[in-house]
Structure 1
Amino acid sequence: MPYYYFDYNATSPISKRVVAAMQRGFEEFGNPSSMHEAGKRAKRLIKQAREQTAAMLGCKPDNLVLTSGGTEANNLAIQGRLQACLNNPGHLVTSAVEHPSVLEVCRHLSLVHGFETTFLSVNKQGHLSPRELEEAIQPNTQLISVMLANNEVGTIQPIRRIAEIARRQRIFFHCDAVQAAGKLPLDVEELGVDALSISAHKFGGPKGIGALYVRDPSSILPILHGGGQEGGLRSGTENVLAIAGLGEACAEAALDVREAAQSGGRLKRKLLTALAERLEDFTVNGVTETGMDDADSASLWNTVNLRIDGVDGQELAEVLSIDHGVAVSVGSACSSGKHQHHSHVLSAMGLAKQEIESSIRISFGKTTTDEAITYLVQAITEAVHSLRSYAI
């Protein structure tokens, strides 16, 4: 049986160029903090990767903090910014559809340290309203955190407009761009953010490595203390081979992000058109139009969240995996292990429990082929017809 992977938003295959770059990381085994030649070679490899990552984001290398991934980057941005405010807790603004690594840190700050948090609602497409965000701001608002692209439905948020609001109000603005990196062009100056998080394994790099862009590194404090690596903002001996992989993944993404988006948008349209011709009673959760910016109707080119009437999403995912060799998911990999059918994103978009339980997430990448899309449509059609027949 062939195997087709459609869970890129959980993690993506490592590219061959990244594997080659990581091999150098294995070879340069020295501790980058050591003064001998082995340490210096490892440090040069980190410097190159930092420059590659900065080039993808349109920033200076000194504005990057290398982290263990998106979760740590999000925590460092939020907790690091608010460390100095623990004795004078104020107000935070985020959205109800953020990744758990943003939602949970905001809840922690509220419960443990007394910060007040506003969780902005979204419409049925998953978009928040910049006007409602502006109205939520209080005199003591200290931070805004909104993701660029949603990991479950692909909705792209109006980040530039939010950044303008934050700038006018002189509020620190953090953007979780973990799902957008490698799929959309990212220029931190154009976006206007104060901080932005990425994670390598979402776009062809290894797991366990990410980065946080910070416009002014002195504006945050460390949440890990030790040897003072990463400009004192992230202590710990650097994971040289993973950092090399991050750099190469960023270099590769910077070269072909627009081409990948164009090709991927075509595949997404093919998928939805073919499903409409062969399958009854399904709905796309979110918006179907792809985009390269934060237009009100735009979503990621690689993400389709389907609600299929009369079918349990978890059962469908299992049938696709076991009987057809197709990997899809029922939501975020970071939360699906806890509550298989619960999606705080779909719930915030107004879906009822039964509608959420009937949903699956399909996500693909730049290596996905037309053949794979054709096979996926056939597999979904057969699996849905089979499950519906059992339910009668």
Structure 2
Amino acid sequence: MRAQHYMLLGLVPIIMVSAFLNGWGTGGIFQAERLFVSSIIPFFLYSVLINSPGRQRVLMWICIAAALGMVYNGHVQQSSFNGSYGAGIGGSITVGREEMRISYLGFFSDPNDLGMFLVMNMPFVAYFFARGGKLMKLLMLAVIVALGYGVYMTGSRGTLLGTVAVVGIYFLINNAGAKLILFAAFSAPIAATLIASFGGLSSSEASAAGRLDAWYDGIQMLIYNPVFGVGMGNFIDRHGIVAHNSYVHVASELGVLGYSLWGGALVMNMLVGYAILKQFNHYSEDESETEHADETLVEKYREEVLLNKVLFYSMIGFMVTAFFLSRQFTLLLFIFMGMQMASHFRLLKMRPSLLEMFSGKMVWRSMGYSWTVIVAVYITLKVGL
């Protein structure tokens, strides 16, 4: 077990204590149990059992196939839309009598969740495109077009921004320094929100002004209940709708303690992934040692680094879309976090020096960095309200 496991496990007692302090003890037990069973256990299983690149690739193919099935189903919904309903699995979500947003089953019944899944699959497609021959490249080009079409059909502005962000951050990381990357990551959500506030959102969602109001109320809940928050599930009771921001939602409901654990685990995964891209991207820091290393081991390490890169950008897709959606405890997050962490474990076995990225100092740093998102929200509120 690593720090991220303990951090997410730490959410369970905090959820119960937070609910008890807010007068809903039995509800806290129910919420904690649901999180443990439906999110934390899958995270543990994925992070431990995906112990080979082959298993990871199989899961990636399954995700791509599932995404294409959802896009096809969405196309059926779109083409059969009669002004109020579109045929297909899961039906459809309509806005007035003009706009139709595709949906599916389970936690994909919301177009935003479906769009998020499509965005997070795009780096998988890029991986197989880079490794394949001409036929595979043509196939993957067709797949990426299909996923883009699916994102369009969801009508989710958050997932559209996530798509743009994955591409933009890819080129930024490859061509810019760490300070510029940090500045862009901090300022981009602010700029995107302010731009959206001028153009407005689709009629099926809250307006941009309403979204800012939700963020404002969330920050106020955090200020007046700083340690344990207002209790998991209580944001809607107090505001009426979700926060439309996963980070604000967690901070307001679980306070400093809960958000630091949730955000810290997420950010730590990303910091480790970034360090592998930039610092641990070769089998050994010593070039002469690398030259004399077993070529098979070197190739295996390169493959693992590439898989880490793919999962890193998939999680970028989540982090950007989560800034505009309340999807803080979706199963999708914990599955992809588990796959990303499994990649880190495999690399750690090949490169023991990577262990420094899991130190106590890194845990505190990750928790601190996670609060930059809340600062970005605060600045957005100051400018936009």
**Which structure carries more strand by proportion?**
1
TM-score (norm 2): 0.29
TM-score (norm 1): 0.29
